[in-house]
Each structure stands twice: as structure tokens, then as C-alpha cells.
Amino acid sequence: MNSHKTWPDNWHSEFVHPDKQYKSTSLKVEKVLYSGESEFQKISVVMTSSYGRALLLDRVLVKTERDSWLYNEMMGFLPLGMINEPRDVLIIGGGDGGVAGEILKHPTIEKVVILERDQRVVDISMRYFEDSGVTIRDSRVEVVVGDPLLVTQRRKDKFDVVIVDMFADMRSPAHKVVAAELLHGLQYILKPDGVICYQQPSPLVNDTALREQMRMFRRYYPSVGYAVNIAPTLPQGSVGYALMSPQEGVDFSVPKQGFGVEEARKLGLRCYNTEVHQGSFMCVPSIVRDMVSEGHPDTPSTEGAPPISGNKKHIYSVQSMFSRQQSAGDN
């Protein structure tokens, strides 16, 4: 660790297209609080001038103290709103505890499982972000460290909501295989009336990735919806959310459990309420609606991915194909 290392030029910049550096979002860095490397990735915590502390994984912004709640609230409450009295939630990724912290505000939640591949993300988040520590130490939260593919295959419990808080790069064949196998496995741990929420790229920048992912989602789930929201510190300025259900004919723009503006405020929510829920699905530009409605081609091949196994033994630390495939996709 080098706690006083100077960030290059004292600015953190992320480009919309890393290989086409024509537009970026930048934050001024005052100090590097932590810089290290885990088995999987580089991890940094920096103090910025205007957004407080920020967490970066492989130099990609994951969390800021000032605005991460915007993304986290919507990621959690869009699917929660589609369930009457949700109790059990699984988050794949999200080791910083951001999404979990918002979910715990829901009055009926009893258990939140964070499935994170990198223990260091959890440890560093708890050390440098007060809200992360409070969330992860909550008695309703269980942290499982391991390969998402294997752990989801081996858990016996089922969930009202599953949140995939990570981005699969659909330009990478390896990532396509991982995403397809993960979607297949989630069918076995989702309750019959459950809902999946999957992080999506900004629609007007990564249109190819969006089209491919939506086609894949429809291969596994009959009901698929798409919502958008602002994300000020992302290079694109916006973020998407794909919701899926194993039930036919679900209208995701109509929540089953609504929260009015005042009720949402009492829960500590600063973005989500019933009107925002409805608008995030209904106020999608026509060009984006066309993207997410295109075709139903076959899913990418899952050859080489681990089969769904009958072995349901509970595990807390595993490594396998997920790590290898992700590394292959990043090279």
C-alpha cells in the first residue's frame, strides 16, 4: 500500500470508449488513501475534491460518497417494487455494500446475501467507507466470497430478488459465456414470482452491448423490461437496468408495492418512489425502446462453462471458471 501516492496529474479520467478517447468524465484527486492489488484486480481509494472518497477497481470508478446512492437505490428498489413483501435478496457483486445498504431500508427485508468474488473489495470498502462498514456488519447481511457461477449452483435457498451488480462486456466471447451460464443458473435460485435486476450499459453509447444482452435475457426469461436513470460520475452520464421475470406478461412499469414521495422519504430514500419507478420505464427514448425490443436470436454457446450440478453443498470460498473467463476477456 502507498497511502500518499500522487495520482497522475491529480485527475481521474474515464473515457466513454477506452479505445476511442474522445470524451471522458474527470474527478480531481486530492489524495490517494489506498493503492493495492488483489488476486483479481487493482484496488484504489482516493479523496476527490467534490465527490468525497471514491473506490476504483482497475482504475474504473465504482463508488463515490456523494452520488453512488442514485445508482444503488434504483438497482435495489426497482426489483423490490415488483414483489409483495420481499424478504430475501441475493446481490452478485456489490462487495462495497452500496446496493445492500439501500435494500436494507425496505421494511420487509430479512436477509441480504452479497456474493463477491474478491474479499479485498469487501475489506477495503469497510475500512475506508463508513456506510459500507455499517451495512456489511448488519445482522441481516451475509457475505459469501467465491465464484458466482459455482456458488449460485450450490445454494439451496431461493430468493425474491437477484441483483447482478456487475457489467459483462458483450464484446468478449468469454464474458458472453459467463453471462449466459449465470442467467441459466439463476433460474434455480429464483422464487417462481421473483425478479432479476441486471446492470446495463448506457443505451446511447454501448448500443451493441445493450442489444446483445437484451436478446440473451429473453432467451431465458419471458418477461424483460428496461429502465434508465442518471449517473453523474459515469462517463456516459446514465445507466440502464434490465429486469427479468420467469412469469409471462409482467409489466415492470407498474410496481406491486408502491412508495409515495413522503413514504419513500421516511424510509430514507432520496431518489426512488412510485413515480420515479414508473417514469424510469415509461420515459425511455424511442430509439432505446427499439434497441431493447430487437429480435430473439439464440443465446451464445456455453461450451466450456460448468454444467449445472446436482451437488448443492454450501461453500464460502471457491475459484474457478468465472475468474479464468473474466481474465481471458480482459486480455
Q: Which amino acid is at 60?
A: V
Contact yes or no for 46/7 (Cβ under 8 A): yes
Mean pLDDT of the residues in the chain:
83
Taking only the tens place, the pLDDT of each residue in 133-143 is 999 999 999 99
Is residue 131 part of the annotated active site? The answer reads no
DSSP state of 317: -
- Give the pLDDT band (50/70/90) at residue 231: confident
pTM (2 d.p.) = 0.85
Give 195's strand partners: 161
Contact yes or no for 25/14 (Cβ under 8 A): yes
- Give the pLDDT band (50/70/90) at residue 11: confident
For residues 292 and 113, give the distance between their C-alpha atoms in angstroms, rounded to a whole number. 29
Catalytically annotated residue among 88, 147, 165, 251:
165
Contact yes or no for 198/164 (Cβ under 8 A): yes
- The residue that leads in pLDDT, 180 or 54, is 54
C-alpha dihedral sign at 190, 223, 214, 310 = positive
Check residue 312 and give its pLDDT. 32
Check residue 323 and give its pLDDT. 40
Cell 447481511 belongs to 141
Taking only the tens place, the pLDDT of each residue in 198-221 is 998 777 777 777 888 888 999 999
Q: Cα 152 to the chain's mean position, in Å? A: 16
